[in-house]
Structure 1
């Protein structure tokens, strides 16, 4: 059985070399990575506040709204759009909570005077709460989907059925 070597977190995002290794690379973290045969990819960090914006909520709203273009009853349409607005917000909030869980992990260490204990990251509870309401709202929307338009019967099929 082959032993798996653990990689230092600083070198975890590692890519194969694309050009010749030269001198003078040892001074920086990137340079040391190049000396080992590759380079470090930049970490992608998204700010959770940047995710939860009106622009992103609007994008989600427009994506879902397209499916309900066939509703003709105005009162039903107004109800559906209110639910879509809630669903769009919930989805974006879930993305922000998910990003926070990725950045900070599922558990956090809390200090209380001289005691240290590990508790659940608050983003986990937020994600769970929004996920439950998101699924129930999506079920409501699925029930309110307009029926698909009946396919127009071709002229040849009409002649066959007239017999």
Structure 2
């Protein structure tokens, strides 16, 4: 492998993707381990603002998420509209982030919180998990919208029920 020849593990493509980012995208856990052992920078983001952690969260690669967190990946990384907890898709990824002190009240640059995102998309399990971890149901977004108002406007009865109880 190129690392045996002292290649730079942080080299970036024209879109600023690193070998670590690409390995996280494709779910190559063993390559991620090798890159981390070679001092790959877990904080480098691509041109879209996606860090390796955000990519691993979006792709649902649980073991890679844990590896990155153990290497001090920034759980609260925000840039543009990205934040790992907001961007995580599978419930198990969200749980890992919460267990590692992800800020459930963190806002993306557009002002959304994980609770707004889960309410907007009608994700019952996400919403329930966030509420179980004391997400703020009174937090305000644009035009003084709350998660409850958002659920009401979108006719999301299940989410509305969760928010009211």
TM-score (norm 2): 0.19
TM-score (norm 1): 0.19
Q: Which has the higher contact order (CA 8 A, sep 6+)?
A: 1
